[in-house]
Amino acid sequence: MSSNGGVIHDIGFRHYDGPRLGRGYLIRSLYVESLRGCYGLGRSAKSKIMPFLLLTVLVAPAVIIAVVAGVTSMKKLPVDYVGYMFALESAIAIFLAAQAPATVSRDLRFRVMPLYLSRPLSRNDYVAAKYGAMSTALFILIAVPQTVLFIGALLAKMSFWPNAKDWAAGLLGALLLSLVLAGIGLLIASITPRRGFGVAAVITVLLLLSLVSGALASLADINGHPDLAGYFALLNPVSLVQGVLHWLVDADVSYPQPPPGTTGGLVFTAAMFVVIAGCYTLLLARYRKVSAS
Amino acid sequence: MNATVAGLTWHSLVGRRRALLLFVLPVVLIALAVLVRLVSGESSGSATDLLGSFSLGFLIPLLCLIAGTGAIGPEIDDGSIVYLLAKPLNRYVIAISKWIVAIGVIVLFGVLPTLVAGFILAGNQDGVATGFATGALLAGVAYITVFLLLAVITRNAVVIGLLYALVWEAAIGGYVPGAQTLSIQQWALAVTEKMLGDSAPALGVDSAVGLTTGLVLLFVVSLGGLVYTGFRLRSIRINGEE
């Protein structure tokens, strides 16, 4: 029907001969709309409440810290950029649990997947756009408060380079954490067309992993296997990223033990990439044969 | 109590994938209990740690969130609740039927595993197993009522429930002692503390509220919440998707 991949079904109306925007445009639109949807933009006022409430929960402490640092002219921020993000990890997890099902479950529930896929948009494009949108939404959620802290530090006339370096480390952490969490959240959410159940399932899996790995780690630590305790952090996606950051940028670890040495760092980094790639592959597999089930 | 409504609710709660999630949680609890028992031996201290944090602090609230909102939330979400409400049934009966089924689910997947895990970890010592199981049951009933009511009131029941269980009870309750007075977990812990008797201080079980306050609040919330749920069902408004 057309030469550059556009499709308009001929149902007997007047023909369209204008320019076609093609597949790239479709992916871009789906990405932008999904990202806006994660924050409830373009949706009803009700669906804006939750994401912006959680964004406030994350940003408000940073603003307070920045103002206090400026007023009392501190020499150094009381929290570091990476530590700030892990201190508020439960708010990040709730954001993921609330918005991952909103991103993918609706399309399944209202059975609009066939409509998407009857366009030049392929399954892989759909998954890429959704994964990109979800991780960008998480990245914004984590990076905005870090940037607020950075601006606060500069306004308080703290030295530029150490802060810029830590801020960059924080952004790297935000990127890694959002990629890992978005993958896990979307994978779980894509299994169910029910939003409420998706929310509960995502948070249950994240909490369960963190509790189990915490219990196993302290058990190993008490019984005198600190190395083993370090490796149990692999089970929890959040402490996995924490371990990687500990190795890469020497971030503090809230766990009983950080991953041991270079080997530990390499293992954690490899595990993190396996998690990201694995979630992406499983998502592709999930959408290979998609039904609302 | 209406058997048909109860049966339908039961199927929607434990049917298909939902059941998987419901099964995984108690299995993990028992597995952890067995592991701790094998590594550290029988001790009421480790039993208190595991049951207090994993069972009362995580398993029960989350199971109740899934069962309480799942008992009615999806029906309201997809609008099929109108077929139920169009039947000549008292709305209070509908609420009570769903409530009882949800409590049954909690007993099966939350309270009994807590009891079993308690026996695995501590045997018969100090009444740890029965103490925590009773606490779990009472907390479960109150949580179920609150989450069922939330599901009737709002679309965002699951997220609000999570904010209550994770942020209010766990995080804010940890820093602001006053917040613990409004925590179902603490009310139930008061009962557990009483049942553990003299060994409670040694095990570190210390509720933020007294026994009478805890029991009264549990009772008021459970009964009041259930009545209000029925009342809200009488004049529920079915909205379209957001």
Chain B residues with CB under 8 Å of A90 CB are 166-167, 170-171
B109 domain-assigned: yes
Helix pair A22-38, A123-155: axis angle to 10 deg: 50
Flag if A219 and B35 touch (Cβ within 8 Å): yes
B111 domain-assigned: yes
Question: Whole-angstrom Cα distance, residue B46 to residue B24?
Answer: 22
pLDDT digits (tens, 9 = 90+) for B42-70: 878 888 888 888 888 889 999 999 899 98
- Domain tally for chain B? 1
Q: Which H, E and C letters describe chain B, residue by residue? A: CCHHHHHHHHHHHHCHHHHHHHHHHHHHHHHHHHHHHHHHCCCHHHHHHHHHHHHHHHHHHHHHHHHHHHCCHHHHHHCCHHHHHCCCCCHHHHHHHHHHHHHHHHHHHHHHHHHHHHHHHHCCHHHHHHHHHHHHHHHHHHHHHHHHHHHHHCCCHHHHHHHHHHHHHHHHHHHCHHHHHHCHHHHHHHHHHHHHHHHHHHHCCCCCCCHHHHHHHHHHHHHHHHHHHHHHHHCCCCCCCC
Chain A residues with CB under 8 Å of B170 CB are 90
Interface of B with A in 109-168 (CB under 8 A): 151, 155-159, 162-163, 166-167
Q: Is B19 on the interface with A (CB under 8 A)?
A: no
Count of A-B CB contacts under 8 Å: 87
B242 domain-assigned: no
Flag if B17 and A192 touch (Cβ within 8 Å): yes
- Please choose, from the candidates B72, B66, B120, B235, the residue with its C-alpha nearest in 3D space to the C-alpha of residue A208: B66
Flag if A94 and B156 touch (Cβ within 8 Å): no
- For A204, how many CA atoms within 13 A lie in the half-sphere containing its CB? 26
- Alpha-carbon distance values, A272 to A131, A181, B25 (Å): 16, 11, 25
Centroid of chain to Cα A285: 20
- pTM here? 0.86
pLDDT digits (tens, 9 = 90+) for B162-204: 888 887 887 777 677 777 888 898 899 899 888 888 777 778 7
Say what the ipTM of the complex is: 0.82
pLDDT digits (tens, 9 = 90+) for A90-103: 889 999 999 999 89
Low-confidence winner among A216-225, B97-106, B216-225, B227-236 (lowest mean pLDDT): A216-225
* Structural domain span for residue B198: 3-234
Chain B residues with CB under 8 Å of A98 CB are 156, 159
Q: Indicate the residue of A47, A49, A196 with minimum beta-carbon distance to B70.
A: A196
Q: Return the exposure string of B21-46: e unless at least 16 CB atoms fall within 10 Å of the residue's CB, then b.
A: bbeebbebbeebbebbbeeeeebbbb
